[in-house]
Amino acid sequence: MVTATVLEAELLALAGSVPDPELPVLTLAELGVVRAVRLRSAGTAEVDLTPTYTGCPAIEAMSADIERLLHAHGVAEVTVRTVLAPAWSTDDITDEGRRKLREFGIAPPRVHRGPGPVPVTLGATRTLTTPPEPVHCPHCGSAETELLSRFSSTACKALRRCLACREPFDHFKEL
């Protein structure tokens, strides 16, 4: 990455402070989706934003929120570019972001493993995961949880249920 000026770093922090439209407990910086801010000239900024999923509909709301905030802080021209490469990964979510997800009732994604589905064995009526690291229930902390569906309320989440407290919960699945 090109060395950013002090002002660019400030604008990056500002853009990163925008809350995620679908998970408002998280900021875009904690989600790891704001890649860079460049000043083209005085009052003209270009922001690089990466989508979590290629089809994530929240990206348009994110762009609009960033533009509005930078305008409000005196940047006259703001262009938000969507960049795909390098592809976003759930490993880009910060530790603070993970903590907030858990507090919000969403099990954070596990780290340091390859992306993609965790291999499962097929049970009689449902799949029980046997991953190297269990997904903990965000409510009671139990490691005894089961997968109900790989797809949930948004593309980035899977639906699970805790076998200890019986509460269903969303899991931010690894990508």
If one asks whether residue 153 binds other proteins (CB under 8 A), the answer comes out as yes
Which lies closer to other proteins via its Cβ, residue 11 or residue 58?
A: 58
Question: In the bound complex, what is the minimum distance in angstroms from residue 18's beta carbon to other proteins?
Answer: 21
Q: Which helix (H) or strand (E) holds 12?
A: helix 6-16
Q: Do 147 and 160 touch, CB atoms closer than 8 A?
A: yes
Contacts of 82 (CB under 8 A, 6+ apart): 49, 50, 51, 59, 63
Stretch in the footprint of other proteins (CB under 8 A) among 16-24, 27-35, 55-63, 135-143: 55-63
Q: Which of 25, 159, 165, 167 binds other proteins (CB under 8 A)?
A: 159
Question: In the bound complex, what is the minimum distance in angstroms from residue 89's beta carbon to other proteins?
Answer: 8
Q: Is the dihedral of CA 117, 121, 122, 126 positive or negative?
A: negative
If one asks whether residue 120 binds other proteins (CB under 8 A), the answer comes out as yes
Q: How far apart are CA 147 and CA 150, in angstroms?
A: 7
If one asks whether residue 169 binds other proteins (CB under 8 A), the answer comes out as no
Query: Nearest to residue 167, comparing CAs of 130, 136, 137?
Result: 137
Question: In the bound complex, what is the minimum distance in angstroms from residue 31's beta carbon to other proteins?
Answer: 16
SS3 of residue 97 by DSSP: helix
Q: Which of 2, 42, 72, 122 binds other proteins (CB under 8 A)?
A: 122
The 10 Å Cβ neighbour count of residue 155 is 15
If one asks whether residue 110 binds other proteins (CB under 8 A), the answer comes out as no
Q: Which of 13, 43, 44, 57 binds other proteins (CB under 8 A)?
A: 57
**Residues forming the site for other proteins (CB under 8 A):** 51, 53-57, 84-89, 115-117, 120, 122, 127, 148-155, 159, 173, 175
